[in-house]
Structure 1
Amino acid sequence: MADSTRVSEKEIERRETFIRAGHRARHLADPFTWSYPLKGASAMLGISLASVYLQNRWNKKPYYYAIVPRLLLIGAATAAGYAAGALRERHYQTRDAVIEHYMKLHPEDFDHFNDRSGRSFSQVLLPWYPRRTQYTRYD
């Protein structure tokens, strides 16, 4: 490939660390930088509060109607969301560890990933031979 299309090792490392989960700086205004347990807890909290509000509006009850049991249910739903996020984070960590271990055991299967400058499309794509129905004779 031409040198103008190649990317430096430093830029590739920056891109890789930017897209991996947990490598970006956390910002309160950007939920994409939150951890999975925080995302799960905040989603369940938002859904629970919205459902309580809509149920009160539908039944024409004041906001403080049955507030103690509802707060307990909201807390339980938020805890369940946090637990689901923690399970998801653990699943992804385990998956990444298994993949990295396999890559260390079988490095010959992953040699083509080391060529970061890329390959031409002729090396990547398989040839395509159209077989149309109107052409019945194959020479």
Structure 2
Amino acid sequence: MNDPLELLENKNIRIPSFLSDKYNPIGCGLLGVGAAFFVNWAMRRPLVSGIQKHIILGAGGVALGSWLDSKREAHFAERDAVLRHYVQLHPEDFPKTPRVKYADVLESWTPIR
């Protein structure tokens, strides 16, 4: 049986990849350092001049990426909780359906001879 509530449960069977929690902070940090390079290029200065600017923008980007990641996780957790609650309140709209297998669907198909 396909139970709609079963789809929304957190069974902790998904193993996150190594970079899943590091992708946004690293990306935003690189974006901050890239912004410092761009500002130096636009001002016609040597690209690595004012190294403190690179460090500050890189650290700010990492902090921003971590914050965005936590906000994203909170948003998806709240969305799943709202969906789970709605399905619990309205079970008549989400009936349990029997699982359909390929053998049942394709049993009428026969090879052409």
TM-score by length of 1: 0.53
Counterpart amino acid of residue 98 in structure 2? D
Unaligned runs of 5+ in 2: 8-12, 106-113
Matches within 5 A, 1:1-139: 23-28=14-19, 34-35=20-21, 38-58=22-42, 59-63=44-48, 65-111=49-95, 114-117=97-100
Unaligned runs of 5+ in 1: 1-8, 17-21, 29-33, 121-139
> Cα RMSD between the aligned structures?
2.9
Relative contact order: is structure 1 or structure 2 higher (C-alpha 8 Å, sep ≥ 6)?
A: 2
Note closer, same or farther for the CA distance 1:25–1:91 as it changes in structure 2 (3 Å cut): closer
Identity %: 25
Q: Distance in 2 between matches of 1:94 and 1:43?
A: 25
TM-score by length of 2: 0.63
Q: Distance in 1 between matches of 2:18 and 2:57?
A: 28
Deviation of residue 39 (structure 1)? Answer: 2.9
Asked if the contact 1:41/1:81 (under 8 Å) is kept, the reply is yes
- Deviating above 6 A after TM superposition, structure 1's stretches of 4 or more consecutive aligned residues are none
Deviation of residue 62 (structure 1)? Answer: 4.6
